[in-house]
């Protein structure tokens, strides 16, 4: 039986070839993101861990300027699957396959003077071992689209792995997926900076499976801002969360004098570029028939709301439990906080959560006042 996703047909993925149907959102966002880049020349795409090749085939079919895709996988069965899927879509003349270790693939692109506009690095686990070489391959002005699936490390379940791979401290709490996104973002930005590239986050998100970061890569001297990197401190006792820039690192106590936990160093700046999210949204009318448009719109809108908000969020069920009340609706809390004069927003990281600049006592008081 032949499957279909977006504009692309594909054979059932063999058991040993990596494919996650549920990762469709990441492929949809990739299509929109590349379209929104509005490259003025024919686009070259490279995929480091290509698996079935569906992602690149979708880019070839669903983004008008994509001319050629370079797909790599170490698994020979994956390469056969890619060739079959390419023929099925009459795209066999527009792909080149490689069977190389990931870093070797990046360096091979460079030595063959193939500089992709889009380098799609969907690693199993941490992408960190491949980031430095990725910045050798990707073209100036291009995009690095990075996936990380090592959530146990980044979410504090396996702190040793986090320290080994990222050199960071982690925390295990309800906003750990945002902490994880910020650790990954800093890792990408730092790898870029080592090669004198600026990697600007256009969006960095958690889709329920993995972290996805879409970075614009610009070559040239620039200085990283110590105010945008630092730590998050969390008080397990009173729940105070604070963003602590590098130079102020690191208070050991919250404002009430309780000992705090620390996560970082991580990225404290914006995870999303609101103009870019708007450009992605403006592509909807031209791709609506290929994408799961409602799901994509949900995430784009939530990400847009997060811009300008603090680098953490509150989960309403946890707050309500702490206050021993039955929880109000998130929308009611956001409205009430805004009525009190504090910016407040939904977050894409969790459905039952909100972000706000309001101090913690105000958050508690607002939620309590709405108790049913
Ligand atoms: Zn405290």
Pick from 15-19, 118-122, 278-282: least confident: 15-19
Instruction: Find the 323 Cα to ligand 1 centroid distance in Å.
Output: 16
- My answer on whether 337 and 196 are in the same domain is no
Q: Indicate the burial class of 21 (C-beta count within 10 angstroms; 0-12, 13-18, 19 or more).
A: exposed
Split at pLDDT 50, 70, 90, the class of 31 is very high
Q: What is the pLDDT of residue 315?
A: 98
Instruction: Find the 369 Cα to ligand 1 centroid distance in Å.
Output: 22
- My answer on whether 139 and 101 are in the same domain is yes
- Euclidean distance between CA atoms 2 and 163, whole angstroms: 44
Is the pLDDT at 220 greater than 90? The verdict is no
- Euclidean distance between CA atoms 206 and 147, whole angstroms: 10
Split at pLDDT 50, 70, 90, the class of 200 is very high
Beta pairing class for 314-315 and 353-356: antiparallel
pLDDT one-digit tens code per residue, 230-252: 999 999 999 999 999 999 999 99
- My answer on whether 33 and 68 are in the same domain is yes
Q: What is the pLDDT of residue 344?
A: 98
Please give the average per-residue pLDDT across 279-297, as a whole number: 96
Is the pLDDT at 322 greater than 80? The verdict is yes
Pick from 48-62, 104-118, 215-229, 237-251: least confident: 215-229
Domain membership of residue 328 as a residue range: 313-372
Split at pLDDT 50, 70, 90, the class of 93 is very high
Q: Is there a domain that residue 365 lies in?
A: yes
- Euclidean distance between CA atoms 18 and 49, whole angstroms: 9
Q: What is the mean pLDDT of the chain?
A: 96
Is the pLDDT at 372 greater than 80? The verdict is no
Instruction: Find the 365 Cα to ligand 1 centroid distance in Å.
Output: 17
Instruction: Find the 328 Cα to ligand 1 centroid distance in Å.
Output: 25
Please give the average per-residue pLDDT across 226-231, as a whole number: 96
- My answer on whether 106 and 223 are in the same domain is yes
Largest CA-CA distance found in the chain, in angstroms, rounded: 66
- My answer on whether 321 and 290 are in the same domain is no
Q: How many domains does the chain have?
A: 2
Instruction: Find the 313 Cα to ligand 1 centroid distance in Å.
Output: 16
- My answer on whether 94 and 166 are in the same domain is yes
Q: What is the pLDDT of residue 300?
A: 98
- My answer on whether 100 and 147 are in the same domain is yes
Split at pLDDT 50, 70, 90, the class of 265 is very high
Instruction: Find the 260 Cα to ligand 1 centroid distance in Å.
Output: 7
From the list 112, 132, 116, the residue with the least C-alpha distance to 50 is 116
Task: Identify the CATH number of the domain in which residue 114 sits.
Answer: 3.40.50.150
Helix or strand holding residue 8 (H, E): strand 8-10
pLDDT one-digit tens code per residue, 120-129: 999 989 999 9
Please give the average per-residue pLDDT across 97-121, as a whole number: 98
């Amino acid at each position: 039986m032949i499957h279909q996703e977006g504009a692309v047909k594909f054979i059932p993925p063999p058991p040993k070839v990596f494919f996650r149907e549920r990762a469709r959102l990441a492929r949809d966002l990739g299509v929109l993101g590349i379209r929104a880049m509005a490259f003025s020349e024919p686009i070259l795409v490279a995929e480091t861990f290509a698996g079935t090749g569906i992602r690149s085939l979708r880019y070839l079919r669903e983004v008008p300027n994509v001319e050629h895709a370079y797909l790599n996988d170490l698994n020979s069965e994956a390469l056969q699957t890619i060739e079959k899927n390419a023929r099925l879509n009459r795209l066999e003349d527009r792909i080149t396959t490689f069977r190389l270790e990931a870093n070797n693939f990046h360096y091979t692109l460079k030595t063959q003077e193939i500089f992709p506009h889009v380098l799609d690095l969907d690693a199993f686990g941490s992408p960190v071992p491949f980031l430095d070489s990725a910045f050798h391959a990707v073209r100036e002005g291009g995009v690095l689209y990075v996936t990380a699936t090592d959530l146990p490390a980044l979410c504090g379940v396996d702190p040793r792995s986090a320290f080994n791979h990222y050199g960071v401290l982690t925390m295990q709490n309800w906003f750990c997926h945002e902490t994880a996104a910020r650790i990954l973002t800093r890792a990408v930005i730092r790898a870029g900076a080592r090669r004198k590239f600026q990697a600007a986050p256009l969006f960095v998100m958690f889709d329920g499976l993995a972290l996805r970061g879409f970075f614009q890569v610009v070559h040239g001297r620039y200085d990283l801002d110590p105010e945008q990197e630092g730590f998050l401190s969390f008080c397990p006792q009173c729940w105070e969360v604070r963003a602590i820039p590098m130079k102020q690192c690191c208070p050991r106590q919250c404002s009430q004098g309780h000992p705090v936990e620390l996560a970082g160093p991580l990225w404290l700046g914006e995870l999303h570029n609101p103009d870019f999210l708007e450009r992605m949204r403006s592509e909807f009318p031209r791709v609506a028939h290929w994408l799961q448009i409602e799901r994509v719109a949900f995430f784009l809108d939530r990400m847009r709301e997060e811009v300008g908000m603090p680098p953490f969020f509150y989960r309403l069920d946890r707050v309500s439990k702490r206050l021993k009340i039955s929880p109000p609706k998130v929308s009611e809390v956001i409205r009430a906080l805004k009525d009190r004069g504090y910016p407040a927003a939904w977050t894409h990281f969790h459905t039952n959560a909100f972000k706000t600049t309001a101090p913690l006592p105000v958050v508690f008081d607002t939620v309590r006042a709405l108790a049913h």
